[in-house]
Amino acid sequence: GGLALKKKLGAKISGLVTRLGISSMIFGTLYGSFFGYEELLDPVFENIGLDFLPLKVFKQTNFILITAVAIGVALIVISMILNIYIGFKNKDYEKAIFGCNGIAGLVFYSSVAAGLVGTLMFDVKVMSAPFVIFLIVIPLVCIFCRTPFSIAVKYKQWRLSEDEEKMTVGNFIVENFFEMFEFLLSYVSNTMSFLRVGGFVLSHAGMMLVVMTLMEMCSAAAQPFVLVLGNLFVMVMEGMIVAIQIIRLEFYEIFSRFYEGGGKPFEPVGVKFTAQTE
């Protein structure tokens, strides 16, 4: 369909539709789903000798959800690496080294993720005392004291602004405590947000199950129409839902870690009318 639309609607929209089609074919093959027929590709994989394919959604739910979270962790780590690169490029050491998305945040987040995976999934005791102290506690201290540490690195001495000099120790601790709590909460919420990617797989299987059930309840003559209309409904519904959610994931979980708005504010051209009286 994307290739057919290339001449009529242009390369941009056809490229989008083509990529959607290719992605649908790839994951449809992995899940053994062909327009609602979930068992159609089973003999093919059996003859090839791939026992773990196709992925059965309702039988391998935990695997699908864990894989979605793992993809989210990888994307968040990549976003942090981009933030570190941009921070060093702009000589913003607080952002690159001591920020929640800098080196300190990257070490902390990666260490916690590795520790949880090793402990819960592989029964490996990763969380030893040196591991916790050097890879979790020290990065947290760096994030907590990111402002004075970054100033010391940049100027080789403690140089505070007038506002920072007026700040008391108590105010500093309280302010950074709540910011630290926000950072930790964002790590958890951003990671868990990728569960919705696995949830879309489950919702797709559920909706197609409903379509196939309705088709079986109809007469033989009406079954093709129910199948086509049901697939079109699911495509439109899921297309809308997925488009909204991936935009949210891109801008909130990924772009917010390294993107900073700047530049000159937009000022539109205006016309002023002055009323003249005789």
Task: Evaluate the omega torsion of the peptide bond into residue 54 and state whether it is cis, within 30 degrees of 0.
Answer: yes
- Are the beta carbons of 109 and 83 closer than 8 angstroms? no
Model confidence at 153, pLDDT cuts 50, 70, 90, reads: low
Terminal CA-CA length for the chain:
68
Give per-residue burial for 66-103: e unless 16+ CB within 10 Å, then b: ebbbeebbebbeebbebbbebbeeeebbbbbbbbbbbb
Task: Evaluate the omega torsion of the peptide bond into residue 43 and state whether it is cis, within 30 degrees of 0.
Answer: no
The answer to whether position 255 is within a domain reads no
Among the listed ranges 7-11, 193-197, 244-248, which one has the minimum average pLDDT value?
Answer: 7-11
CA dihedral 15, 16, 19, 25 (to 10 degrees): -120
Residue with tokens 């690169």: 85
The answer to whether position 6 is within a domain reads no
Provide the pLDDT for residue 158. 47
Among the listed ranges 13-17, 162-166, 237-241, 263-267, which one has the minimum average pLDDT value?
Answer: 162-166
Measured distance CA(1)–CA(18) in Å, rounded: 7
| Residue range of the domain that includes 125 | 91-192
Measured distance CA(250)–CA(255) in Å, rounded: 6
Question: Is 156's pLDDT higher than 70?
Answer: no
Provide the pLDDT for residue 77. 93
The answer to whether position 166 is within a domain reads yes
Mean pLDDT of 70-74: 91
The answer to whether position 225 is within a domain reads no
| pLDDT tens-digit readout, 4-60 | 877 777 777 788 888 888 988 998 888 888 888 888 888 888 888 888 888 888 888
Question: Is 271's pLDDT higher than 80?
Answer: no
- Are the beta carbons of 238 and 257 closer than 8 angstroms? no
Measured distance CA(142)–CA(208) in Å, rounded: 50
Helix (H, G, I), strand (E, B) or coil at 264: coil
- Are the beta carbons of 257 and 79 closer than 8 angstroms? yes
Model confidence at 246, pLDDT cuts 50, 70, 90, reads: confident
The answer to whether position 31 is within a domain reads no
The answer to whether position 37 is within a domain reads no
| pLDDT tens-digit readout, 106-138 | 999 999 988 888 887 777 788 888 888 988 888
Domain count, the chain: 1
Tell how many helices (H) and how many strands (E) occur in the chain: 13, 0
The answer to whether position 101 is within a domain reads yes
Question: Is 166's pLDDT higher than 80?
Answer: no
- Are the beta carbons of 69 and 46 closer than 8 angstroms? no
The answer to whether position 100 is within a domain reads yes
Mean pLDDT taken over the chain: 83
- Are the beta carbons of 84 and 104 closer than 8 angstroms? no
